[in-house]
Amino acid sequence: MGKKHTRGISCLALLLTAALLLSGCAGTPERSPQEGSSSGGTAVSSAAAADGVKANGSYITQEELLTELEKKYGGQEGKVEYGEPISGLARNGTLDLKLGFDLKKSGMEKYSEVANLFWDAELTQAVDFRYDYDEAAGKLTLKPGPYSVGGIYVSSLTTEEVREYPHDTISLFSKGAYEDWGNVGKFYLVQYVDDQTGKKLEKPVVRIVTTQGELEAPRIVFQPTETGLAGFRWNAVKGAQAYVVFKISRDADGGYSGGVTPIAMTGETFWRSEAPTFSSYSQVNSDFRQFRYSEDDWAADRVYEKEGLTEGKAVADSSNNYSFGVIALGQDGTSVFSNLYEAEELAPNLPYAEAAAISKKNGFTNDCADIGLAPSHVWVTMCDGTTARKLINYEVDSARVETNRYLNIDEETGEYVSGEDLDVLQIPYTVEGAPFEYVLEVVDYDKSTIEQDMKTLRERQESLRQRSGSTEVTGEAGDLEGAAEQVREFSGETVTANSTLSEYLARCMLGRTGLIDLTGVPGSGDADLVADALLEAYYQNPLILGLQGYRINKDATKLKITYEEDAAEAAKKQQEIKAKVSEVTAEIITPGMTDLERELAINSYLCDTIEYDMAALENAEQYNYAKTDPEFNDSFTAYGALLKGKCVCAGYAAAFKLLADSAGLESIVVTGMLEGTMSHAWNKVKLDGTWEVVDSTNNDNEELFNALLNIPGTASRLTLVEDKQYVLDSVIPNYALGSEDSREYYHISDKFFPVNAIAQELASELKAEGKATLRTEYDLTDGSFQQIAQEVYRLMEDDVSLSGYFWMGVIYLEQV
Query: Given this model, what pLDDT does residue 6 score?
Result: 33
What tens digit of pLDDT does each residue of 120-131 get? 888 999 999 999
Query: Given this model, what pLDDT does residue 491 score?
Result: 66
**pLDDT grade, residue 586 (50/70/90)?**
very high
**pLDDT grade, residue 60 (50/70/90)?**
confident
Walk across the sheet containing 547-552 and list its strands: 34-35, 547-552, 558-563, 515-517
Beta-carbon neighbour count of residue 177 at 10 Å?
A: 11
Q: Is residue 22 one of the residues assigned to a domain?
A: no
Residue 571 has pLDDT above 80, yes or no: yes
**pLDDT grade, residue 76 (50/70/90)?**
low
Same domain? 588 vs 659 = yes
Same domain? 687 vs 716 = yes
Residue 16 has pLDDT above 50, yes or no: no
Burial class (CB in 10 A: 0-12, 13-18, 19+), 421: exposed
What tens digit of pLDDT does each residue of 323-356 get? 999 999 999 999 999 999 999 889 988 999 999 8
Last residue of a domain, one of 726, 748, 770: 748
Residue 727 or 56, more confident = 727
**pLDDT grade, residue 745 (50/70/90)?**
very high
What does the pLDDT average to over 152-167? 94
What does the pLDDT average to over 278-293? 84
**pLDDT grade, residue 165 (50/70/90)?**
very high
Query: Given this model, what pLDDT does residue 373 score?
Result: 67
Percent of residues, the chain, with pLDDT higher than 90: 49
Percent of residues, the chain, with pLDDT higher than 70: 87
What tens digit of pLDDT does each residue of 187-214 get? 999 999 999 999 999 999 999 999 999 9
Same domain? 638 vs 704 = yes
- Helix 782-796 with 758-769: angle, nearest 10 deg: 50
Same domain? 768 vs 732 = no
What does the pLDDT average to over 116-143? 92
Number of domains present in the structure of the chain: 2
Same domain? 632 vs 702 = yes
Q: Is residue 581 one of the residues assigned to a domain?
A: yes
Last residue of a domain, one of 721, 748, 775: 748
Same domain? 578 vs 691 = yes
Same domain? 645 vs 786 = no
Query: Given this model, what pLDDT does residue 526 score?
Result: 85
Residue 26 has pLDDT above 70, yes or no: no
Residue 311 has pLDDT above 60, yes or no: yes
Question: Range with the lowest mean pLDDT among 506-515, 593-602, 754-763, 802-811?
Answer: 802-811
Residue 375 or 337, more confident = 337
Residue 696 in contact with residue 642, Cβ under 8 Å? no
**pLDDT grade, residue 82 (50/70/90)?**
confident
Query: Given this model, what pLDDT does residue 467 score?
Result: 41
Same domain? 679 vs 722 = yes
Residue 610 has pLDDT above 60, yes or no: yes
Q: Is residue 417 one of the residues assigned to a domain?
A: no
**Taking the model in full, what pTM does it have?**
0.79
Computed over its alpha carbons, how large is the radius of gyration of the chain? 29
Residue 708 has pLDDT above 90, yes or no: yes
Same domain? 576 vs 673 = yes
What tens digit of pLDDT does each residue of 255-278 get? 888 899 999 999 999 999 988 876
Residue 493 in contact with residue 578, Cβ under 8 Å? yes
Q: Is residue 250 one of the residues assigned to a domain?
A: no
SS3 per residue for 322-352: EEEEEEEEECCEECCCCCCEEHHHHHHHCEE
Query: What CATH number does the domain containing 670 carry?
Result: 3.10.620
Q: Domain limits at 785?
A: 758-815
Picking from 807, 801, 798, 799, the residue whose alpha carbon sits closest to that of residue 789 is 801
- In three-state secondary structure terms, 222 is strand
What does the pLDDT average to over 425-445? 88
Same domain? 676 vs 726 = yes
Q: Is residue 357 one of the residues assigned to a domain?
A: no
Q: Is residue 168 one of the residues assigned to a domain?
A: no
Residue 75 has pLDDT above 70, yes or no: no
CA distances from 442 to 156, 224, 362, 449, 617 (A): 45, 33, 19, 14, 35
What tens digit of pLDDT does each residue of 383-431 get? 999 888 888 899 999 998 888 766 677 767 777 767 777 788 889 999 9
Question: Range with the lowest mean pLDDT among 10-14, 91-95, 308-312, 767-771?
Answer: 10-14
Last residue of a domain, one of 692, 723, 748: 748
Residue 695 has pLDDT above 90, yes or no: yes
The residues near 700 (Cβ < 8 Å, ≥ 6 apart) are 23, 606, 607, 610, 612, 652
**pLDDT grade, residue 43 (50/70/90)?**
very low
What does the pLDDT average to over 732-739? 93
Query: Given this model, what pLDDT does residue 792 score?
Result: 92
Residue 160 has pLDDT above 90, yes or no: yes
**pLDDT grade, residue 451 (50/70/90)?**
confident
**pLDDT grade, residue 15 (50/70/90)?**
very low
Same domain? 648 vs 621 = yes
**pLDDT grade, residue 764 (50/70/90)?**
very high
Q: Is residue 186 one of the residues assigned to a domain?
A: no
Most confident of 373-377, 515-519, 554-558: 515-519
Query: Given this model, what pLDDT does residue 264 score?
Result: 96
Most confident of 310-324, 409-423, 680-694: 680-694
Distance CA 450, CA 456 (A): 10
Dihedral sign (CA 590, 596, 602, 603): negative
Query: Given this model, what pLDDT does residue 479 score?
Result: 59
Distance CA 713, CA 731 (A): 17
Q: Is residue 351 one of the residues assigned to a domain?
A: no
Query: Given this model, what pLDDT does residue 637 score?
Result: 93
Same domain? 646 vs 774 = no
What does the pLDDT average to over 73-77? 67
Residue 10 has pLDDT above 50, yes or no: no
Residue 381 in contact with residue 348, Cβ under 8 Å? no
CA distances from 554 to 32, 54, 150, 637 (A): 14, 29, 20, 31
Q: What are phi and psi of 616, to 5 degrees?
A: -65, -40
Residue 480 or 334, more confident = 334
Q: Give pairs for 142-146: CB < 8 Å, separation 24+.
A: 142/94, 142/95, 142/96, 142/97, 142/115, 142/117, 142/189, 143/94, 143/178, 144/91, 144/92, 144/178, 144/179, 144/180, 144/181, 144/182, 145/178, 146/177, 146/178
**Average model confidence (pLDDT) across the chain:** 84
